[in-house]
């Protein structure tokens, strides 16, 4: 499906290296995201972090939803009230880039704006999250980065 594009900026430029503090080799906290054109109809935001270089296609590192629909998603957003983190490589928490030493992996952060607040258990994985989001996505934006230790 095609959605309106969500413009996002973060601690690194699209295609550049992810700062170490946002990786499993650093503080392992999610980066701040700035959103430039958030729809006034957005009720919540969702973030999905995937490892695009993993042998399992688009290996999910992190899923978080019910993030407050505002122009800034704060750093370490998973520690905030009402934000739900599901089951991924980061089991109910952020799990940043952590490729094997000397290997470069590419990662994609996808941010979605939704017209609802999701009523979901934290014990779900990406597939069920995407199914629940279906028909409620207003916008989507992505930013990709890489990491190599």
Portion of the chain with pLDDT greater than 90, in percent: 91
CA atoms of 4 and 116, how far apart (whole Å): 16
CA atoms of 76 and 53, how far apart (whole Å): 24
How many CB atoms are located within 10 Å of the residue 149 CB? 15
- Locus of tokens 């704060």: 74
Residue 1 confidence (pLDDT): 55
CA atoms of 55 and 70, how far apart (whole Å): 35
- Per the model's pLDDT, the better-predicted residue between 90 and 33 turns out to be 33
The secondary element (H helix, E strand) that includes residue 133 is helix 126-133
Nearest to 12 by CA among 70, 87, 96: 96
CA atoms of 11 and 145, how far apart (whole Å): 10
Beta-carbon-side half-sphere exposure of residue 28 (alpha carbons within 13 Å) = 10
- Locus of tokens 């069920």: 128
pLDDT digits (tens, 9 = 90+) for 100-147: 999 999 999 999 999 999 999 999 999 999 999 999 999 999 999 999
The pLDDT of 79-106, averaged and rounded, is: 94
The pLDDT of 10-30, averaged and rounded, is: 97
Angle ∠(126,149,144) on CA atoms, nearest 5: 40
Beta bridge partners, 68, equal 44
């Amino acid at each position: 499906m095609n959605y309106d594009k969500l413009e996002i900026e973060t601690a690194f430029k699209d295609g550049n290296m992810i700062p170490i503090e946002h990786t499993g080799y650093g503080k392992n906290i999610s980066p701040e995201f700035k959103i430039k054109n958030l729809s006034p109809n957005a009720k919540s935001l969702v973030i999905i972090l995937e490892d695009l270089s993993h042998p399992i296609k688009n290996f999910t590192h992190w899923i978080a939803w019910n993030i407050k629909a505002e122009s800034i998603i704060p750093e370490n957003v998973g520690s905030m009230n009402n934000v739900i983190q599901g089951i991924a490589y980061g089991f109910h928490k952020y799990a940043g880039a952590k490729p094997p030493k000397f290997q470069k992996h590419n990662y994609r952060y996808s941010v979605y704006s939704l017209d609802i607040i999701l009523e979901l258990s934290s014990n779900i994985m990406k597939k069920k999250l995407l199914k629940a989001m279906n028909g409620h996505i207003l916008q989507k934006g992505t930013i990709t980065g890489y990491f190599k230790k």
